[in-house]
Each structure stands twice: as C-alpha cells, then as structure tokens.
Amino acid sequence: MKLLLVYPQNPDSFWSFKHVLHFVSKRSTFPPLGLLTIAALLPPDWQLKLVDLNVERLKDSDLRWADYVMISAMIVHKDSVNEIVSRCTAFRKPIIAGGPLFTTGHEAFPAIQHFVLGEAEDVMPQLISDLRDGNVRPQYLATERPDITRVPAPRWDLVDFRHYVTMAVQFSRGCPYDCEFCDIIVMNGRVPRTKTPAQLIAELEGLRQQGWKDMVFVVDDNFIGDRNRTKDLLRKLIAWREEVKPEMGFFTEASVNLADDAELCELMVRAGFKKVFVGIETPSSASLQECHKKQNQGRDLVEAVKTIQRAGMEVMGGFIVGFDNDKQDVFKQQFDFIQRSGVVTAMVGLLSALPQTKLYHRLKKEGRLVADSTGNNTEAVLNFKPKLSREFLQTGYRDLMKRLYEPKVYYQRIRIFLENHRPRGPQLRLSPGDFRAFLKSFWLLGLWDRGRHNYWRLFWGTLLRRPGQLRCAIELAIIGYHFRRVANRL
C-alpha cells in the first residue's frame, strides 16, 4: 500500500510566523504533528510519503505514485484543501480526510470520498483493515475519546528537521473549562487525558538522538488542565534534563490560573519552558462572564501576567474583540491592558463562531449567524451579527492591530516586558541559525525598517542594562516584524 500524506499550506496569520522564517532561514514554523502521528499508526510495511505544502510543492509524480491520499487540516486550511482536492481529482486519486476542518464540516467537501471524523486512534484498525480489503467506507466516526497512553511516537523520519523552526509534541488532550467560543471541548472534550511521563520523554529523547537542539512546542489544549499529572511530568523532565543535558527548550499553552501555582511555575521553568500562550481574551469582566471564561474572572489579569513573567516565562496572549458585552471603549481597554502587562506577542482577533461551539449554537438559535468561520482570526471578518456596529468593530480592529505593532509602541512594550521578566532555568544554545537571524535583524530592522531608530534604542539599552536579555530582545524585535506585516495587510 502506498499512502501520500499531504498537509495544506498555512495562510499568512499570527501562527504562521511567515515573516520570521526569512530571518532564521527556515521554510515553516511547525511540522504536521497530526499526520506524523497517523503515520505511526499505519502498518510498518506500507510505503508512506509526507508532503508538507509549507516546505515543498505537491508534484504530479507524488500523486501518480499514491494509492490513496490522506489529508489532515484545520479550518484555516480550507482554501488550500480545495486546491489539493482538485489536484487529486484530476489524477483520480481517492482521498481520506481527517482533522478539525472535516470533523465539524465535512459536508462542505463533496469531492472527498472518505472521512475520519473525531480523534482517529480508535478507528484506525478498521480503516487499515478496509484499506487492505479495498473496501474503504465513506465515514469512520470516533465515538469515544481514545486512551492516548497507547499513541505511538510520531514518525519523525518523514520530515526534514532542517526546514522547521520548532518541533512539536503532545502530552495531553482536552481542557476542563467551558469557554463558549472555544472548539477544544468539541474536538477533545473537557476531561484532560494525558500520556505517561515516560511516553513524552521517550518522544523528546527520540528528537534529541536525531539531533534536535532547538525549541519544542508542547501543543496541548491546556498544559495544566490536570495539574497533578503535569507536575509529575515536569519533575521527570527535570530529572531527564539533568541526566542527558538536552539543549532544547519548550513552550506551550495554559490557562491564566498558572499564575496561582508558584510550584507549577517553578517546575516549568526548571524543566526548560521559556514561553506560554495564555488566553486572556479581554479585560472586560462582563465579557468574560458572557463567554464563561471563569478562570479569568475575579482576578487582576495584569498582575497574573506579571507573576508568570517574574517566574521566568514570557506570556504570549490571545485577545478577542466583539463580545456582546463589549462597550465603545473596548479597543482602548485592550490597548491599555496589552501595553501595561508587557504582553509583547499579543494575538488579537475578532470573535468568530467556530463550528459546533456553544457560541455557534447560541448565535444560530438567535438567527445571528451569517457565514462560516474562516478559522483565521487575523482577518477583519465577523461571521455573525454583532451587538456593536460591524463597521465599528472591523475598523477598530484594524486600527488596534496597527497601533499595537507600530514600532515605537511595540518596542516600548518589549522594554516593559524585559523590566518585569526574570530569565531563569536552563540556558539555551545560540545556534548558527540564531546568529544568522541576529545579523539579518541588523540589516533589515536596523537599516531598512521604518522602526530602525527604535530598534537601535532597544539594542543598546538592553546591551548596556540587561545584556543577559539581549537575545530575547532581538528575537521579539524579529517577531514584531512579522506581526507588523500581518497588521498592515488588514
């Protein structure tokens, strides 16, 4: 059996970090972890080829070779998926599609013959059997949440490490919270399921033995969803780090109540976690109550961010505008919060009703849905009728993004962060790629970018006052260039 695994092209968005790739001489930020995991579940004697459209093109010879084409995609990949489907149709190649895009919206793809809906692990044995018999069903529906302690390590041999900025692993699935707008609980449930610490460490050791020395994204929906299991993992990660001295560092996603647990913060830092993405959403208490973001309510969110920063981790923040309870001053509130807290990487988006979420069903019942979600929160698009003026929200969003990433404002935010951040934990190596990015930042940001004066002010100020944070400062300057490009095309 010859299977071609295809991952769609990422659009230019926050998470693509497209405009950072030039600095670090890479083609893509993350490898397609889902497809690499599916590959590990397939029989070892089958012939597999993976084509990630973010690092290489899909050739006609690839399609001629394959018996079946497997596609995994998120909602944001819809346009790229349609192009892939057209190519496959032209070569009469049957497609098996899975992932969030199809789990909540497979009806929109009539040209695809076969779907795996939901988490794939428990239905893979039947799919494999049907592939062998030449009688693949139209749908394979996962009715239970799989035990992920039985998930094998990803097939790292199918990708070329040289093309990626970071690698990716997963420890847990699911989140205990019930945010109205979030599709995590639709996909993975509210009861966190975890791998064993030994499993995850074996995956990391596999990466280390294959030469990986850079950052690893722990892609969990909420890394601290089950704190006790997370702490057990972290203690074992610390022991592994002390024993084998890996050079990699980590970043992940977690809820803001991470700030409440000093021990958890300390363990994460000692294990090598340098950054954490936190869904802050909004400083409006009424809007937090509206979307059932209970973990963010009744607390000083600025102080929570600064607590995590002081512990030794950068906070990357997710923010949303467009809740029913947002007022006319919502954009000023968001701007002031982001600046005061020093959330340098602020990923702000207009509220979107993702398929099958509680928000989606509420708005549908109210007759307020007007379109499907694109899954790209960097587009000034609303797929529902908002309470505030649509034009006000779209114009305000564009203006907010441009203001946040205007050089003077952005570099000021970096300085606010550096003043509060206390870098601790394992020191990461300075790779040849880091050195090249450093030099390219001199050229592009220091000579040609309109924010060059702010760049040099940050450079010399950090070098003289906080030389140990210079690497972090330059990295944030480079990331800011990506966000500025994204903001300017809105």
Beta bridge partners of 172: 194
Does 255 share its domain with 315? yes
Beta bridge partners of 356: none
Q: What share of the chain is helix, strand, coil (3-state, %, to 5)?
A: 50, 15, 35
- Domain extent at residue 93: 2-141
Does 47 share its domain with 85? yes
Does 294 share its domain with 354? yes
Determine contact, residues 166/428, Cβ cutoff 8 Å: no
Q: Which of 141, 173, 202 is the last residue of a domain?
A: 141
Does 97 share its domain with 197? no
Does 112 share its domain with 236? no
Distance between terminal CA atoms of the chain? 45
Domain at 274, CATH number? 3.80.30.20
Does 129 share its domain with 158? no
Determine contact, residues 12/23, Cβ cutoff 8 Å: no
Identify which of 132, 181, 155, 186 has the alpha carbon closest to the alpha carbon of residue 32.
155
pTM: 0.96
Q: Is residue 37 included in any domain, yes or no? A: yes
Q: Is residue 73 included in any domain, yes or no? A: yes
Kindly report, residue by residue over 425-483, the tens digit of the pLDDT. 999 888 888 888 999 999 999 999 999 999 999 999 999 999 999 999 999 999 999 99
Q: Which of 401, 420, 439 is the last residue of a domain?
A: 420
What is the DSSP-derived secondary structure letter of residue 2?
E
Identify which of 126, 122, 224, 208 has the alpha carbon closest to the alpha carbon of residue 171.
224
Q: Is residue 461 included in any domain, yes or no? A: no
Does 116 share its domain with 241? no
Does 249 share its domain with 396? yes
Both tokens of residue 163?
């093309």
Does 217 share its domain with 236? yes
Identify which of 336, 259, 269, 262 has the alpha carbon closest to the alpha carbon of residue 304.
259
Q: Is residue 435 included in any domain, yes or no? A: no
Domain at 105, CATH number? 3.40.50.280
Name the burial class of residue 376, with classes exposed (0-12), middle (13-18) and buried (19+) by CB atoms within 10 angstroms of its CB. buried
Does 165 share its domain with 98? no
Identify which of 36, 23, 45, 19 has the alpha carbon closest to the alpha carbon of residue 161.
36
Q: Walk along the chain (490 residues) and give the pLDDT tens digit of each residue.
A: 999 999 999 998 888 899 999 999 999 999 999 999 999 999 999 999 999 999 999 999 999 999 999 999 999 999 999 999 999 999 999 999 999 999 999 999 999 999 999 999 999 999 999 999 999 999 999 999 999 999 999 999 999 999 999 999 999 999 999 999 999 999 999 999 999 999 999 999 999 999 999 999 999 999 999 999 999 999 999 999 999 999 999 999 999 999 999 999 999 999 999 999 999 999 999 999 999 999 999 999 999 999 999 999 999 999 999 999 999 999 999 999 999 999 999 999 999 999 999 999 999 999 999 999 988 877 888 999 999 999 999 999 999 999 999 999 999 999 999 999 999 999 988 888 888 899 999 999 999 999 999 999 999 999 999 999 999 999 999 999 999 999 998 8
Determine contact, residues 297/288, Cβ cutoff 8 Å: yes
Give Cα 366 to chain centroid, integer Å: 31
Determine contact, residues 433/26, Cβ cutoff 8 Å: yes
Q: Is residue 388 included in any domain, yes or no? A: yes
Q: Is residue 478 included in any domain, yes or no? A: no
Total structural domains in the chain? 2
Q: How far apart are CA 211 and CA 97, in angstroms?
A: 32
Does 134 share its domain with 188? no
Does 122 share its domain with 156? no
The secondary structure element, H or E, covering residue 315 is strand 314-321
Q: Is residue 163 included in any domain, yes or no? A: yes
* Residue 353 main-chain phi, psi, to 5 deg: -85, 95
Q: Which of 369, 396, 420 is the last residue of a domain?
A: 420
Q: Is residue 434 included in any domain, yes or no? A: no
